Amino acid sequence: MESQRLRILILGTPLVTWDGVPVKIARQQIRLLLYFLAAQAQPVNRSALCQVFWTEKDDTSARKLLREALSKLRAALPDPSVLVTQSGEVYLDPSKAYVDGIEFKHITDPLLASAEISRDAVLQAWMYNEMRKAISLCRGNLKLEGNEGGVSVGYENFLNLASQSYDYIRMRIEERLASHCIATGNLDEAILWISKALEIDPLNDDNNFLVINCLKECGRTKDALDYIYYLENLYVQTSGQELPDTIRRQRERILENHDEVEKDQVEWPGIETHPVPFVGRADLLERLRNALNRKGIVSIRGVSGIGKNRLMEEFYKNLPRKPRLLFCSGKPMVKCAPFEPIIEGLRVAVRPEEWMELPAVHRAVLRDLFPDLINTIPELSEKTDGTEVNDDFLLRSRIPRSLERRFEALRGG
């Protein structure tokens, strides 16, 4: 609202402003009283305020101190009418004061009540946006000067409970955002959300396992191993314990597969320095990254010379880890051999031992397409019993199915 000239930010280092200018409140107890009232979604009874701030005082003395504190708070505010005392209750007029903590509560209450918060599927767009909006309000931990000394036991108890609730809600939402991003294939953003959740609970085994797995799936093997080594020191320094078994086994699997992954990496054929730098197309590069994470298929179409090849080259060249590449280059003037680009691509990308994984009948059919493989796979020189590999029908029916299986293997499907 335009009339909310007073802004009280409590989700992080507390800040009070009037029309954007900080409001100075000299006395700590008056500041704490303002923070406490700002954190309440409902009016607070005077007796409850006395219990929070003057627990050790009798009722008469506590009420007297409360009246004095409220008077000083009014005097400190640019608009005294923001503070309302009515029928034995005290509150801040929501039409005149904005509080980020109250907005956070209004956004998160329906989200936490929804069944979607416990699922791992893709979120609806409005819910995803609401969750991001809630997290954008969080500037840090809920402190409210509780760690600076000189506060009452009642205020410490309030702050501890409020901080635990705030951390729990924030962590639930960040974990749900991470699940959404994993479901959509956006692993980079998923890592961001999990990392934010780990700022609240650094030794959360499930989240640590998840961030390592996302790093591995992104091809950031070194980052995954570095993070595990960081965790190893963190567990020892914080709790004196070793890594959990799940993370130790995860490290073993990463190390076992690392060499196998590295040998499949291939550079973009004919890659060279271009005289003109590549600029723009950030939206298309992001869509390509998301498709790669989902193991999806993308069709890039456009008139000749518009930059389709350059786009793919720049995308592949700048990936943090090069995935396995099947590069098939079509030749516009060659129309009589429709499988020729695929044949040439497979000849470069597929290793002899992988051809051996195909059933013998398919290897025999592919012999006519890959005659040079006879030198590396002698059995291709022999026909499979009962199979007439020169039959046109067999070539038309089996070759596409064989190629389809190889595409599935290359995609990891």
pLDDT at residue 154, as a whole number: 92
84 in the same domain as 19: yes
Provide the number of structural domains found in the chain: 4
Residue whose C-alpha is closest to residue 53's, from 67, 71, 43, 42: 67
375, 256: one domain:
no
- Do residues 197 and 174 lie in contact, with contact meaning Cβ atoms separated by under 8 Å? yes
Does residue 278 sit within a domain? yes
Domain assignment present for 348:
yes
Are residue 297 and residue 339 in the same domain, yes or no? Answer: no
Q: Is position 4 within any domain?
A: yes
Q: How far apart are CA 303 and CA 69, in angstroms?
A: 74
DSSP secondary structure string, 90-101?
EEE-TTTEEEHH
Phi–psi pair at 120, nearest 5 degrees: -115, 5
Query: Is residue 311 in some structural domain?
Result: yes
Which structural domain range is residue 312 located in?
A: 268-323
The answer to whether residue 193 is domain-embedded is no
Residue 7 inside a domain? The answer is yes
Q: What is the mean pLDDT of each run of 10 residues along the chain (413 residues)?
A: 81 93 93 95 95 93 95 95 94 95 96 90 92 94 75 91 95 94 88 92 92 86 88 88 90 74 57 64 79 73 81 80 74 64 78 76 73 59 48 44 54 50
Q: Ramachandran region of residue 140, left (φ > 0), alpha (ψ -120 to 50) or beta?
A: left
Among the three residues 185, 210, 234, which one is the final residue of a domain in this structure?
185
Of 263, 288, 315, the residue at which a domain comes to its end is 263
Q: In terms of domains, do 145 and 38 share one?
A: yes
Residue with tokens 């959360």: 204
Residue 191 within a domain: no
Does residue 194 lie within any of the structural domains? no
Of the residues 213, 231, 263, which one is the last residue of a structural domain?
263
Pair 256, 278 in one domain: no
Alpha-carbon gap, residue 8 to 39, rounded angstroms: 10
The pLDDT score that the predictor gives to residue 391 is 44
Q: Are residues 146 and 227 in the same domain?
A: no
